[in-house]
Chain A
Amino acid sequence: MNAISTNMVMLLAAILFILGIAGVVVRKNIIFMLLSVEIMLNAAGLAFVAAGARWAQADGQVMFIFILAMAAAEVSVGLALILQVYHQHKSLDIDKLREMNG
């Protein structure tokens, strides 16, 4: 029962990661791409926590806390960049921002 559960959790993490990659590749809006990166980080954290719960070690949750801190820093910088890009270009379409020459 225990091993099957861990396999299923890992499968769920893989599905979430693939959905995040698909979101990054498919969407053309920077906000949606940032959301998809968040989904991918969550999937990685889920894999860490599942592995930590499988062997009853605390390291998985420690890694999840580090991922959380990294996601918070990344989101703050990314959203500041989005605001700045929108003020400069009046658009969030990734095709219109192809040439970022200052």
Chain B
Amino acid sequence: MEIAFYITAAITIISTLLVITRYNPVHALLYLVVSLLSLGMIFYLLGAAFAALLEVIIYAGAIMVLFIFVIMLLNLGKETAEQEKKWLKPKVWAGPAILALVLFIELCILLNTNDQAQYISELHVDPKVVALSLFRPYLIGVELAAMLLMAGVVGAAHIGQHKKTVLHRFLQEKEGT
């Protein structure tokens, strides 16, 4: 299954190149989702099925939804309606749709082939081995990652709270009354 790897690598490079050259952030996010999906495909081809699962669920699911939320929050304007109309043109979503369709066809072909022939490295790592390694020798790393995530949540909640814009004190008094 060398050819599947080369097709997926080409899709990854093309979509990443399109991410860093788009002007509209939403178009870049669409291409980044395609890039992450194809990277998950490469993980699957490498025999790391658990990493492929995490890539699709966490990266292409959760983190990209965060980005989309922030971008949608930032351009609340009067031009939102015509922007919405502009985004729904088929020229916009045709590129990511074609790349994702190629990935989907490749996935269908891979799922229909023989079980052993689909990995380009025959030594694939089971999720059970990963879990045993994660919770025995790397237990302190898991604890540290949990503390990092906790610190990230607390930091985001602290930074993101909506403070009033700093005004001059005369203006503040006028606004208060």
Interface residues of A (CB under 8 A from B): 1-2, 5-6, 8-9, 12, 15-16, 19-20, 22-23, 26-27, 29, 31-32, 34-36, 38-39, 42, 45-46, 49-50, 52-62, 64-66, 68-77, 79-84, 86-88, 92
Contact = CB atoms under 8 A, between A and B. Distances in A.
Nearest to A88: B165
Given A49-B46, A77-B152, A64 B67 contact: no
Nearest to A15: B13
Main secondary structure of the interface of B (DSSP, over half): helix
Contacts of A81: 159
B125 A79 contact: no
30 contacts: A2-B120, A8-B5, A12-B9, A19-B17, A22-B20, A23-B20, A31-B25, A32-B28, A35-B28, A36-B19, A42-B36, A42-B59, A52-B48, A52-B125, A53-B121, A57-B125, A58-B129, A61-B50, A61-B130, A64-B51, A64-B54, A65-B51, A65-B145, A66-B145, A71-B63, A73-B153, A75-B66, A76-B66, A77-B159, A83-B70
Contact of B162 (A49, A53, A87): A87
Nearest to A53: B46
B70 to A, nearest CB: 5
Interface string B134-159: 10001001000100110111011101
A59 B51 CA distance: 12
B102 interface: no
Given A9-B46, A35-B67, A92-B74, 17 more contacts: A6-B121, A16-B12, A31-B25, A31-B67, A32-B25, A34-B67, A35-B28, A35-B29, A39-B16, A42-B35, A46-B43, A53-B125, A55-B123, A58-B129, A61-B125, A64-B54, A76-B153
Interface of B: 2, 5-6, 9, 12-13, 16-17, 19-20, 25, 28-29, 32, 35-36, 39, 42-43, 46-48, 50-51, 54-55, 58-59, 62-63, 66-67, 70-71, 73-74, 120-125, 129-130, 132-134, 138, 141, 145, 148-149, 151-153, 155-157, 159-160, 162, 165
B48 A76 contact: no
B63 A75 contact: yes
A71 B54 CA distance: 13
A31 B42 contact: no
Contacts of B2: 1, 5
A82 B73 CA distance: 11
